[in-house]
Structures are given as structure tokens and as C-alpha cells.
Structure 1
């Protein structure tokens, strides 16, 4: 079962109630998986003593980030894919190439990234270990870092400290989700205000 736009209620307690409902349904013999599509910032509660990252990982077993369209390279693929849906706008060859090229190109990129010796320096992990203690948060931050590394172009990841910076960005995304959402939407950071 897929739930969308629950973040508009701006109340993460709804996920606690849905998790309870899901557990009860599964105990009754029904095998139902609840899937939620929400923004991270819903878990940035001012009155909560629990960190946004801890709230997020508390409610969900698996978190899959949605990678935004962020560059010419990605938006170009969307344009090509959309064009190829319409026969009048594209040739049969275009539609065939698009379906074949995307996955082979992505597989080649992933293989190249895996063999390129990209890594996160252990000193950064040790430093984060002083501040982030929740195992679920750590698993989620590393998982999101891996997901973004798989999506970003290799040229970008090969620059000095790129993987460490990517990890820092994922920590920021998890610890300060509302501010991260503002920045990624082109809005002013809430932290910059006096």
C-alpha cells in the first residue's frame, strides 16, 4: 500500500499510528507492506527532543532517497525519455536506443566507480562516531551516501575529498532535514538568519 503527501499534515505521529496498523494487519495473517513518499523535513520538529534523523529511522525499516534532477545530464535523460513516449516526436530508432543505452550506460558507470578507489576517509567516520550514536541513523546515512554516489557522475566524485563531502551532505540531510530541503529548493538557509 502506497501513501503519498502525508507530510502535508506536518505531524510524524501519523507514521507511528500507521506502523501500528501495519503490524496488526500483518499479525492477522495479511502480508501488507506500507510504502510512504514523504519529504525529510517533516521530521524536523522544534519541540521534539529526538533528532530528525532518529525520528525518521524510528518509523521506517528501509529508507530509499529520491535523487533530484540536478544537472543537465539528468534532465536531458528525462527530456529524451519523455520525447520517446510520442511517436510523432521521435523515431523508432530513438526509442530503441534510449531503452538499451540507459541501463548499459548506468551499469558501465557503476563498474567504473567501483574500480576507481573512491572512499570515505576513516577519520571522518571516527569524528561522526562521536556525535551520531544511533545505529539506525548510521545505517541510513551510509545507505544514502552510497545511493547518491551511484547516481552522481564519476568526474564529480573523483575530485579531492568528494566522498567525504558527500558523506557530510548526507549527515546534514539527516540531521537538519528542513534546512537541507530549503537549500535544495533554492531557498535561504534557516541557519543563516540571525
Structure 2
């Protein structure tokens, strides 16, 4: 059976769980709770290097797509790749980061806010463009406005998206959505699993 590449996995699963944690154990616990709820694609934020072991541990599960986020230097990108990250996500768009990831044969997702930034990222070859902060920029209407003249952009909005409105972004043309605190804020592990099941079920109803 052909192994799905990371970008294909994002397109198929559409929900990217963005996990920010103080310790690697916390990140793994949150991810495991979400896995029980059916989520399979994760962005583990690793601007703090001590979180990298979480990437390594989770990457052993070949049913998952583990991305490393919050990366702005090639040094941290290399560390994440060595730990098993399948995609490098940056909070900005840098040509040097794109070149590094291309040379390392690892897909790169850049983050932008404006239509001009999104177009330049697409023109440079970024396969999926993260739009952040989606809520502050205008929510679903903003995604619609960006895509109306440029429907070829592969956008993944993130930032302020809720478990109740995420399908609206997909219906507006986003290829995937990044969901963070709405999945785990003020929640124990059991509640995280229940929220994850809820969004996966809502996604299946939407498709």
C-alpha cells in the first residue's frame, strides 16, 4: 500500500491539532487524548527546544503526521527533522527556510496574514499556506475575500477557530484548519478526547 505523503495527509484529514505545551510529556498526553478522538495530524510547537522529544515520541506512530511548528531558524528545523518531524511550520514566510526544507526534502508550511504575503508564498512553492491569526483578520469572511480573486491558494487558517465554526472555513475554501486551544483549554484528558471526537464527527458530516 502506498504511504501517504504529509501534504496529502493534511488534505485528507483537514484538521491539524496545534499543541503548545510547557513540557514534552504534556504535549504527548494532549496528543494521545486527541488520537483517541480520531485526530491524526499534529503541529507540535517547538520554539522551546525542550519540547522536541514529544515530536520524536509521537513520530513513532506511523498512522500520524507529526509537524514541528514555531520554527524560525534552520538549526531548529534540522533538530526537528532529526526527531522525526515530517513537515516544518514557520510562524513567518522566509525564503531561506523554504530553501533549507527543500534541500532537506521536507515540506514547509509558512504562515502569512495578508493576501500579498499569501500570493508570494504560493509563488515561491509553499504547498499549504497557514493564515494566522484567522479570527483577528476577519474570520471566515476574510478567507473568502482572499480566495475570491486567488482561488488557487491552498490556505490553512488558524488562530481563534472554534470547535463549532471550523467547518465554515472549509466550506469557504480552506484546504485544512489549524485548531489549538479550543481542543484542550481548561480540559482534562477525557474532555480533550470528547472534543476531538466532536470535531471529527462534525468534519465527517461536513464532507
Q: TM-score, normalised by structure 2?
A: 0.24
